[in-house]
């Protein structure tokens, strides 16, 4: 059963999860994210990616302070026309860039990660896009968050995706060490998406990334599971689960609001496990899992990826 997400509870979890360096830089930030691994290229998904981006900017635009292009050089202060950069890349006649990367952050410092952020990266054949919103947005109006996710993802052709509580992690943070914050969160709060941005990108076409409050499954994987009608029939047997249709897949909602899955409070997230049982044939096969040690070491990484499938 879902518990009310009070401000005190949110503050308590945030205090345990957020991490700052001695110089004040925020390197781990808890928020609510919508994340997609998209199928095909940026150019092929240009219209859908722009819709995702503009949906995000409507929420975070006034707060963005710094931007980073293609992962090169250091983050720079936002310029007057920076927020038009991605739509410009997607415009007709613009030359294909090959690599697409854009990060927007709203922290007080140049290198801070934040809970009002946007990230896109595509290299080779792997593409991922993510928006990060404050915890309060989903806690105070979860139905509005669902609508944001539906609008953002509706036109993109995707492999899979998630929506719910998530971490924004500084790129150079040592996520492979089990005694650091990522390992702690992965073990303690099973409802928080701890995947460093892009960590599962090379496995995205092999199976769905994760089970979350919102789990997005693209058409390719739905066909592998017997088709959307067969999947829908199984999900319809689960009380509390809602299935939202998208143009290129479905979005499965586990209950009226997300949960942190605090094992110390016995928050087992039964609906997540039930959805995982239905979608188990679509999980990334162990032989194709390329997450390495990026979630608190090799053993914890594998345990975390499969935690709702087994």
Q: How confident is the model over 258-277, as pLDDT tens digits? A: 999 999 999 999 999 999 99
Share of the chain above pLDDT 90, in %: 79
Q: What is the pLDDT of residue 81?
A: 93
Q: How confident is the model over 10-55, as pLDDT tens digits? A: 999 999 999 999 999 999 999 999 999 999 999 999 999 999 999 9
Q: Is the pLDDT of residue 60 over 90?
A: yes
How far apart CA 216 and CA 252 sit, in angstroms, is: 6
Average pLDDT on 182-190 reads 94
Share of the chain above pLDDT 70, in %: 98
CA of 142: how far to CAs of 60, 119, 153, 214, 267, in Å?
17, 22, 17, 11, 19
How far apart CA 77 and CA 65 sit, in angstroms, is: 6
Cβ within 8 Å of residue 175, ≥6 positions away: 169, 182, 196, 199, 294, 295, 296
CA atoms within 13 A on the CB side of 301: 19
Q: Is the pLDDT of residue 188 over 90?
A: yes
Q: How confident is the model over 296-305, as pLDDT tens digits? A: 888 888 999 9
Give counts: helices (H), strands (E), the chain: 10, 11
Q: How confident is the model over 110-132, as pLDDT tens digits? A: 999 999 999 999 976 679 999 99
Average pLDDT on 203-232 reads 94
Q: What is the pLDDT of residue 126?
A: 78
* pTM, 2 dp: 0.95
Q: Is the pLDDT of residue 1 over 50?
A: no
Q: What is the pLDDT of residue 297?
A: 85
| Other residues' Cβ atoms within 10 Å of the Cβ of residue 198 | 20
Q: What is the pLDDT of residue 66?
A: 97
């Amino acid at each position: 059963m879902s518990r009310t997400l009070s401000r005190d509870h949110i503050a308590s979890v945030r205090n345990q999860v957020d991490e700052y360096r001695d110089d004040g830089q925020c390197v781990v930030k808890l928020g609510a994210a919508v994340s997609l691994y998209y199928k095909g290229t940026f150019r092929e998904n240009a219209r859908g990616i722009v819709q995702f981006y503009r949906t995000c900017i409507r929420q975070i635009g006034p707060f963005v302070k710094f931007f980073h292009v293609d992962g090169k050089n250091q983050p720079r202060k936002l310029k007057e026309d920076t927020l038009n950069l991605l739509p410009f890349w997607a415009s007709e006649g613009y030359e294909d860039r090959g690599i697409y990367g854009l990060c927007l952050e709203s922290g007080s410092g140049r290198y801070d990660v934040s809970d009002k952020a946007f990230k896109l990266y595509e290299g080779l054949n792997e593409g991922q896009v993510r928006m990060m919103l404050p915890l309060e947005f989903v806690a105070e109006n979860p139905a509005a968050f669902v609508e944001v996710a539906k609008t953002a993802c509706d036109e993109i052709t995707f492999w899979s995706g998630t929506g719910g509580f998530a971490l924004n992690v500084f790129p150079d943070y040592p996520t492979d060490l089990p005694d650091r914050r990522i390992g702690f969160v992965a073990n303690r709060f099973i409802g928080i998406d701890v995947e460093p941005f892009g960590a599962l990108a090379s496995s995205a076409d092999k199976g769905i990334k994760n089970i979350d409050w919102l789990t997005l499954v693209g058409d390719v994987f739905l066909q592998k599971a017997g088709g959307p009608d067969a999947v829908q029939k199984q999900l319809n047997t689960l009380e509390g689960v809602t299935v939202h249709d998208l143009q290129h897949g479905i979005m499965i909602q586990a209950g009226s609001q997300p949960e942190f899955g605090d094992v110390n409070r016995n928050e087992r997230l039964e609906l997540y496990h039930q959805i995982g049982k239905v979608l188990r044939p679509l999980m990334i096969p162990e032989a194709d899992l390329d997450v390495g040690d990026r979630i608190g070491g090799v053993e914890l990484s594998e345990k975390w990826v499969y935690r709702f499938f087994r």
